[in-house]
Chain A
Amino acid sequence: MESYTYVNIFETKGLEYLLLICFLVLFIFLVRYLASPLPAKEQAGKE
């Protein structure tokens, strides 16, 4: 029976890959957040 091998993501590139995936996902959210129009309630307040 094979023994369990613990992979420490702090010692491998794993954490860097995870960070890049987080970056790409969050970047999409940021761009969508910035590109979305002003909420109608706030728009009325500005006018």
Chain B
Amino acid sequence: MHDENKKGRSFADIIRFILQEMKPRGKFLTPFNVISIVVIIAGVIILTVRFIYGLGSVSNLNQEYPWGLWKGFNVITGVAFAGGAYVLTFVVYVMGVEKYHSIVRVTVLNGLLAYIFYAGALILDLGRPWNIINPIIGNDFGYNSVLFLVAWHFMLYMIAEFIEFSPVAAEWLNLEKAKKVLQMLTLGAVIFGITLSSLHQSGLGALFLMAKSKIHPLWYTEFIPLLFLVSSIFAGISMVIFEGTISHRVFREQIGPDGKSSFDQIVFGLAKGAAIAMFVYYFFKLLVFIHEHHWQHIHGFWGFWYLFEIIGLVLVPCFLFAYGARHRIIGVIRIAAILTLIGIIVNRLNISMIAYNWNVVDRYYPSWMEYVVSFTVIFAEIWVFRWIVTRMPVYEKHTKPAMA
């Protein structure tokens, strides 16, 4: 291999190495594996039916409800959860806060996979999925459409995130020259990615501006884009805390005891950021509420549901984050992160599904097959994430690259 190193590896060597790495590692029959494989197989069958017989054969979507669970949860909520990547890269690469450097790789990987799987899930939900290429090739640009911006941004952001993560893959393949070149591109990709993120996170909210008559007044506002952007900051931070907590248990051999103690310090810093972002968001919501004279809507089911979202799933976790960060109680911060993630799911589903067509008698409820497909997307992402983390130097800089 020493001689080969001198000559440089051939393309065939790299392919052989990747194929070798495809083999499963560790215990295969775990509860997670068994459940996820069953769900994924069921999901693939349902998706096959969906692509042969159309959306109506597996989902409860109709002309009144063209957007359902797949867009409301997978795309709109999933992209908000991926916000951690642009927040973290901004803090580390632009502001130069090195304290968070150790979690940048895993956060960028999470963001990349979230976009590939959750934004990719958009294809499942399009009645004519082959038309997805139209905004890109110019068949029908539609410059005035928010979807035009979202389509381009999703594609460009995936490329930017891929460039940000590619030095890790180069390190794994022991391609030193390629790694150096890719590292030089990182800062540019980060700045480009942050610009794109801030625009399409708000762009996803702007998609609902045309549904003024359909969304309940407590959730509809012309400031939806701004609210989506601000909420994506603490959604992303909460996801980093939640995912990091699980990963530090599942991948503890790779992280080591030093990594765990430094992660606790990182969590305290992230909790402060989340508390501030949530505090700002809460006052934005309050200001919109007062500005648009919504007092008369605070009664009955919708009023209480709105208060539950704003107080129970924004203000309460905001205080919990602040309290946990101030008193250094990691358990309180984890509870706050979970409440925040639930709050984001509730908020996005309220706007796209629950409070959408709120006064229509014939309401939309997702079919069981829609739930199975949603879980399929999540499980498939976790499988790919686990495969990458157990092979590439995501958690720590390996002194020895995987491909010798």
Contacts and interface: CB of A to CB of B under 8 A. Distances in A.
Interface of A: 10, 15-16, 19-20, 23, 26-27, 30-31, 33-34, 36, 38, 42, 46
A34 B295 CA distance: 33
Interface stretch (B119-127, B221-229, B324-332, B376-384): B324-332
Given A10-B295, A34-B322, A42-B327, 5 more contacts: A19-B283, A19-B287, A27-B279, A38-B327, A38-B328
Contacts of A26: 279
A19 B287 CA distance: 7
B276 interface: yes
Given A16-B287, A34-B272, A34-B322, A46 B328 contact: yes
Contact of A34 (B280, B291, B293, B326): B326
A42 B322 contact: no
A16 B325 CA distance: 30
A33 B322 contact: yes
A27 B327 CA distance: 19
Interface string B303-332: 000000000000000000010011110000
B275 interface: yes
B327 A31 contact: no
A24 B17 CA distance: 57
Contacts of B287: 16, 19-20
Interface string B40-58: 0000000000000000000
B327 A30 contact: no
Contacts of A19: 283, 286-287, 290
Contacts of A30: 275-276, 279, 322
Contact of B276 (A10, A16, A23, A31): A31
A-B pairs with lowest CB-CB distance, top 3: A23-B283, A34-B272, A15-B290
Contacts of A46: 328
Nearest to A20: B287
Nearest to B323: A33
Nearest to A23: B283
B327 A16 contact: no
Contacts of B276: 30-31, 34
Nearest to A46: B328
Dominant SS at the A interface?
Answer: helix
13 contacts: A10-B295, A16-B287, A16-B290, A19-B287, A27-B279, A30-B279, A31-B276, A34-B275, A34-B322, A34-B325, A34-B326, A38-B328, A42-B328
A36 B290 contact: no
A33 to B, nearest CB: 6
A10 B322 CA distance: 31
A10 B292 CA distance: 11
Nearest to B293: A10
A8 to B, nearest CB: 12
A33 B323 CA distance: 9
Interface in B223-281: 272, 275-276, 279-280
Nearest to A24: B283
Contacts of A20: 287
A34 B283 CA distance: 18
Nearest to A18: B290
A23 B328 CA distance: 25
A33 B321 CA distance: 12
Residue from A10, A16, A34 having most chain B Cβ neighbours under 10 A: A34
A13 B322 CA distance: 31
A43 B374 CA distance: 45
Interface string B355-391: 0000000000000000000000000000000000000
Contacts of A23: 283
Contacts of B275: 30, 34
Contacts of B290: 15-16, 19
A46 B268 CA distance: 14
